[in-house]
Structure 1
Amino acid sequence: MRRVTLSDHLILIAGSLLMMSPVVIAFLTSTHDPLEIHKDGLQFNWGGHFLDTYEAVLFESSGFTQQVDGSLMMMNSMILGLGFAVGKIIISMLAAYAIVYFRFPMATIAFWMIFTTLLLPLEVRIIPSYEVVQQLGMLNSYQGLIIPLIASATGTFFFRQFYKSVPDELLEAARIDGAGPMKFFIDILVPISRPMMAAIFIIMFVYGWNQYLWPTLMTTDESYFTLVRGIKQILQVWVGAQIPAYNEAMALAILAILPPVLVVVIFQRWFIRGLTESDK
């Protein structure tokens, strides 16, 4: 039994090291000079440019306008991730609440129509989505980055399944106490939905934070660039003898990893409870 347990742990440790190795290599490479990286490739040892690189990435203005730095791009990524996650939770909770509790005609059909949007990824509907955003005048804005992404069926599906498992006695007790639909939603459903909200928040925040295609299409103004977009911009610089700042690109990649990791670490218990809890 102990041998089996030891082998299981060794396999898990080996898998963790394998998954962490690209991150470690990227971090070590970010501490080297870009010329050295260009000449010798990825680095597997510690360099002497850690503070210089990360200070330049965070606070040194760059780009075509020379007005954008890593802290601004990190703020844009944070706004996109938080706005996407919070907006998705609010819209999904309200939609699931209406479908489960209001019992309007063709509610099931309406849900499955919403659910079928999962079959159409962003890449498929990118052109009509861009046209709608352009007609509404939301290009180069936070509204254009966030609003078109929050309307999908993922959160609605999870909250619908969660609400269907809530005992009907709660609804009956709320009616006896004179609670209306919104009071029942705010005072009863929202508090017991916190684990599910945390689980959806983690998934959606990471998804929104890592968005590349949509911000690339929606923003041509550098002041709205996200971290992921900034990495691509650094690697595209190749003018004459100028070498791309590979170390800064690696540093941006490391900085882009940190917020999702912190969110997962902070909310991991809620995340597990939201996906596995069945008792209400």
Structure 2
Amino acid sequence: MVENQRWLDVLAHLTLILGVAVVALPVYLAFVASTHDPSAFVSGLIPLLPGDAMGETYAAVLEGGVKSQMSVPILLMLKNSLIVALLIAFGKIVISILSAYAIVYFRFPFRQLAFWMIFITLMLPVEVRIVPTFKVVADLGLLNSYAGLSVPLIASATATFLFRQVFLTIPDELMEAARIDGAGPFRFFRDVLLPLSRTNIAALFVILFIYGWNQYLWPILVTTDEGFTTIVAGIKRMADVVDSEPLWNYIMATAVLAMMPPVLVVIAMQRLFVKGLVETEK
């Protein structure tokens, strides 16, 4: 029997509050920095309270009025990041769920070997294989394109493994019942597996969308055309100015706007996201 002791509840709440404060403090400082004039940062200290330049700063950023800091409009960078993140998320889910379906429900030679070869690629992140990947993308003429930004990042051993584990928990009786009902492999996949995997797909979509949105190294390697600049790479370029001081209020305003799409995705899919992570029974 676990005793309900008040000091344990207080300790748990204090721990949660401390964790939220550690996570939220950088976001708060970024927002505060975006509401002040550039002169407020000459001393090198960030004010702790919001200023009165919020409207002017965000209007200048959204309307493209910061030509000295932003050679690419922020709306274009947000659009590029959104397209890349969606392509990566949907691409990873489609390829992973199909490969997991083949591994679990089809019998072919070296089936387990194929799965473990996919799983071993977890030890080869993009940073390790970046040179040969770049060579392949360049030879295929995919530089400065959405395909070049997304296709090399689509394959996912993690998502394949998670879908495989989900399919292994589905009773074999469902497959037998579908087979007796005359359902073929595609119909069984469409009418049985996809509905049962809905929450897992939603949870993976949130994770993979944020993964694609936060890509930095790969986009700056495969794009030289400013029309394909993503928001994360754009923020870095805004900070790397020559012969002048960075306008930190505009940089922080861009960073705050860059956080909005992932936050909205998490909020919109929060219920399915949590359910997909904790659900164990089908």
Q: If the TM-score is normalised by the length of the shorter chain, which range does it land in?
A: over 0.9
- State the one-letter code of the partner of 2:133: S
Please report the TM-score for the alignment, with normalisation by the length of structure 2. 0.94
Q: Does 1:252 align with 2:254?
A: yes
Aligned counterpart, 2:45? 41
Deviations 1:60-113 (A, max 9, x none): 166699762111111111111111111110010000001111121111100000
Q: 1:231 is matched with which residue: 231, 235, 241?
A: 235
Contact 1:62 1:68 in 2 (8 A): no
Q: 1:69 is matched with which residue: 73, 86, 95?
A: 73
Closer/same/farther in 2, CA of residues 42 and 18 from structure 1, 3 Å limit? same
56-65 or 177-186, which deviates more:
56-65
Structure 2 portions without partners, runs of 5+ = none
Deviations 1:162-220 (A, max 9, x none): 01111111111111111111111111111110010011111111111000001011111
Aligned counterpart, 1:278? 280
Identity %: 53
- d(CA) in 1 for partners of 2:33 and 2:25? 12
Closer/same/farther in 2, CA of residues 166 and 124 from structure 1, 3 Å limit? same
Q: 2:10 is matched with which residue: 3, 6, 17?
A: 6
Contact 2:69 2:246 in 1 (8 A): no
Deviations 1:18-64 (A, max 9, x none): 22111101110111122321334322121221111112222216669
Closer/same/farther in 2, CA of residues 210 and 130 from structure 1, 3 Å limit? same
Q: Does 1:27 align with 2:31?
A: yes
192-201 or 36-45, which deviates more:
36-45
Report the alpha carbon displacement of residue 252 of structure 1 after superposing the two structures with TM. 1.4
Please report the TM-score for the alignment, with normalisation by the length of structure 1. 0.95
Structure 1 portions without partners, runs of 5+ = none
CA RMSD of aligned residues (A): 1.7
Q: How does 1:120-199 map to 2 (within 5 A)?
A: 120-199=124-203
- d(CA) in 2 for partners of 1:15 and 1:152? 30
Moved segments of 4+, more than 4 Å: 61-67
